[in-house]
A and B are shown apart, each in its own frame.
Chain A
């Protein structure tokens, strides 16, 4: 479905998007943003699920299982930590100059 140059175009456009989204971010948000982007690549979870779902050998199942454990940790941990960090911006959220 996605192949050849289409894939390359997606890659290029997504790279520019990532660059632009971050380009003007204030220093104050660097840590939460690193944490947030860390959460976003937790999407690897869906890939790990598919890999485990299609594994047929015992070894494949073991590696797939480890993959899903790690990916779920990335997604959940990334969310919890980012959410806690951003939570602190609530009280003074309206006071921005």
Chain B
């Protein structure tokens, strides 16, 4: 068997393993095996690539894999579960950057190639570079390295101008067929600037959708560079991720009742927009012991977790609390909003980590009719996803977003760090209801106190 046949057949196997792996990852029962399949595909593809004919620079190659892989291994193993969204953004950005680097190397090589090859190399480079710099900004925002959204008048027109400029620089490379270093450098600098400019005005609450979009874009960039390099594994894996990522992005935007364009261009997501002049009443605090009694003597409690639970690492305590209540005959259910936390399914992952079984966890559609029969809705660290303004206040920026109807429960207990507004900066009408009581404190501390309280009831 020649090296070429070995490489091509291995790439074929890798492509099959990727698709099978992704397929398995889309069902809870087989998900764990899925990543192993995909991982095996990656290992096979990487190993045989060393046998690619006519290659040089092996020392550099091994060094680069050691540096990049080693750093990613260490950071990936160490990062807290709650910080995973930004790590996905970071690793995704690296993939986009790699696609852009391939484009740069190929474009600088020059020589005569078919027109489509140049077009795909430039397109892949543009998308990859945008995904790279955009993902880094998303990472910085979620990591709180950038705390404010940068907006200025005429921003969108400016961004469009940068887009046109980078497209023009790309077109110049395509037409000239023998691009100099300066041409290529200008093109990539413009593309990188575009990614930064596009992402800066988007508020933190919208970052999950943005990360998912960049994930899809990186897939597309990889596929395009796969065409340039004549590499079937890259084409197939990249395209599959591009399509899957696009669908995932749409699902996420839909869960927030927004269009993708709205997320990218409306500049919403952090703007404080309190309904002016309206007397909403006041927030009414509750003591831990009273809250414990209320929970213990309830028949049905629905727990609504949000990002605050993730920040406080309170999932284990909350599960302990739920188990205590269930031991006393209280019916406990967990209600999870599709966009609770920083990513869809974020809360599911955390609850799974704490050991909460699937059959206690319910989606928005499954549980929403049940709030009316619940004695207590216990909100821990969730805010916008239970804000009734989304249902009835047309002036609210989140009007129209499907929410969990926690306000329909007979009593509402909200565990919250302080009186401030949520991540999106919107006042929550739920907190001012007559049947709502606020339990102030860090999520984990408050949950521990509740556990103690229930034990003594």
Q: Which residues of A contact B (CB under 8 A)?
A: 1-2, 7, 10-11, 14-19, 21-57, 59-61, 63-93, 95-97
Residue count of chain B within 8 Å CB distance of chain A: 116
| Chain B residues, CB < 8 A from A17 | 19, 240, 243
Taking a contact as CB atoms under 8 Å apart, the answer to whether A21 and B84 are in contact is no
Residue of A nearest to B352 (CB): A88
A interface footprint on B54-90 (CB within 8 Å = 1, 0 otherwise): 1111101101110111111101110101001101101
Taking a contact as CB atoms under 8 Å apart, the answer to whether B98 and A44 are in contact is yes
Q: In the complex the two chains form, what is the Cα distance from A30 to B92 in whole Å? A: 16
6 contacts between A and B (CB under 8 A): A10-B236, A26-B28, A39-B35, A54-B54, A61-B57, A92-B357
Taking a contact as CB atoms under 8 Å apart, the answer to whether A57 and B49 are in contact is no
Taking a contact as CB atoms under 8 Å apart, the answer to whether B91 and A73 are in contact is yes
| Chain B residues, CB < 8 A from A7 | 227, 235
Q: In the complex the two chains form, what is the Cα distance from A60 to B45 in whole Å? A: 23
Q: In the complex the two chains form, what is the Cα distance from A70 to B132 in whole Å? A: 10
Q: Indicate if B248 sits at the interface (CB-CB under 8 A).
A: yes
Taking a contact as CB atoms under 8 Å apart, the answer to whether A51 and B105 are in contact is yes
Residue of B nearest to A43 (CB): B237
Q: In the complex the two chains form, what is the Cα distance from A59 to B108 in whole Å? A: 9
Taking a contact as CB atoms under 8 Å apart, the answer to whether B239 and A48 are in contact is no
Among A28, A30, A35, A87, the residue within 8 A (CB) of B251 is A30
Among B14, B22, B235, the residue within 8 A (CB) of A37 is B22
Q: Which residues of B contact A (CB under 8 A)?
A: 11, 14, 18-19, 21-23, 25-29, 31-32, 34-35, 38-39, 42, 45-46, 49-50, 52, 54-58, 60-61, 63-65, 67-73, 75-77, 79, 81, 84-85, 87-88, 90-92, 94-95, 97-99, 101-102, 104-106, 108-109, 132, 181, 211-212, 215, 218-219, 222-223, 225-227, 229-248, 251-252, 336, 338, 343-346, 348-349, 352-353, 355-359, 361, 363
Taking a contact as CB atoms under 8 Å apart, the answer to whether A77 and B75 are in contact is yes
Q: In the complex the two chains form, what is the Cα distance from A65 to B99 in whole Å? A: 12
Q: In the complex the two chains form, what is the Cα distance from A75 to B72 in whole Å? A: 9
Among A19, A33, A80, A90, the residue within 8 A (CB) of B73 is A80
Taking a contact as CB atoms under 8 Å apart, the answer to whether A64 and B56 are in contact is no
With both chains docked as a complex, state the minimum distance between the C-beta of B56 and any C-beta of chain A, in angstroms: 6
With both chains docked as a complex, state the minimum distance between the C-beta of B90 and any C-beta of chain A, in angstroms: 7
Taking a contact as CB atoms under 8 Å apart, the answer to whether A21 and B19 are in contact is yes
With both chains docked as a complex, state the minimum distance between the C-beta of B342 and any C-beta of chain A, in angstroms: 9
Question: What total of A-B pairs shows CB separation below 8 Å?
Answer: 384
Given contacts A18-B243, A36-B22, contact A85 B236 (CB under 8 A): no
Taking a contact as CB atoms under 8 Å apart, the answer to whether A22 and B247 are in contact is yes
Taking a contact as CB atoms under 8 Å apart, the answer to whether A86 and B25 are in contact is yes
Taking a contact as CB atoms under 8 Å apart, the answer to whether B42 and A75 are in contact is yes
Among A45, A46, A53, A76, the residue within 8 A (CB) of B76 is A76
Given contacts A32-B31, A82-B35, contact A43 B359 (CB under 8 A): no
Residue of B nearest to A54 (CB): B55
Among A18, A33, A43, A75, the residue within 8 A (CB) of B25 is A33
Among A59, A60, A73, A93, the residue within 8 A (CB) of B28 is A93
Taking a contact as CB atoms under 8 Å apart, the answer to whether B229 and A47 are in contact is yes
| Chain A residues, CB < 8 A from B233 | 43, 46
With both chains docked as a complex, state the minimum distance between the C-beta of A93 and any C-beta of chain B, in angstroms: 6
Q: In the complex the two chains form, what is the Cα distance from A29 to B91 in whole Å? A: 19
Taking a contact as CB atoms under 8 Å apart, the answer to whether B76 and A43 are in contact is no
Given contacts A11-B223, A86-B25, contact A92 B49 (CB under 8 A): no
Given contacts A36-B22, A70-B98, contact A30 B42 (CB under 8 A): no
Given contacts A27-B348, A40-B38, contact A51 B229 (CB under 8 A): yes
Q: In the complex the two chains form, what is the Cα distance from A41 to B231 in whole Å? A: 13
Taking a contact as CB atoms under 8 Å apart, the answer to whether A34 and B215 are in contact is yes
Taking a contact as CB atoms under 8 Å apart, the answer to whether A21 and B23 are in contact is yes
Residue among B23, B49, B73, B91 with the highest chain A CB neighbour number at 10 A: B91
Taking a contact as CB atoms under 8 Å apart, the answer to whether A89 and B87 are in contact is no
Additional A-B contact list (8), CB under 8 Å, known A61-B60, A76-B72, A90-B32: A32-B349, A51-B101, A55-B56, A72-B68, A74-B95, A77-B75, A87-B32, A92-B355
Given contacts A38-B92, A43-B233, A68-B98, contact A86 B35 (CB under 8 A): yes
Taking a contact as CB atoms under 8 Å apart, the answer to whether A28 and B91 are in contact is no
| Chain B residues, CB < 8 A from A28 | 28, 345, 348, 352, 358, 361
Residue of A nearest to B348 (CB): A28
Taking a contact as CB atoms under 8 Å apart, the answer to whether B241 and A37 are in contact is yes
Given contacts A50-B55, A68-B65, contact A41 B26 (CB under 8 A): no
| Chain A residues, CB < 8 A from B31 | 29, 32, 86, 89
| Chain A residues, CB < 8 A from B248 | 22, 30, 33-34, 37
| Chain B residues, CB < 8 A from A47 | 98-99, 102, 222, 225-226, 229, 231, 234
Among B68, B230, B356, the residue within 8 A (CB) of A71 is B68
| Chain B residues, CB < 8 A from A89 | 28, 31-32, 352
Residue of A nearest to B95 (CB): A74
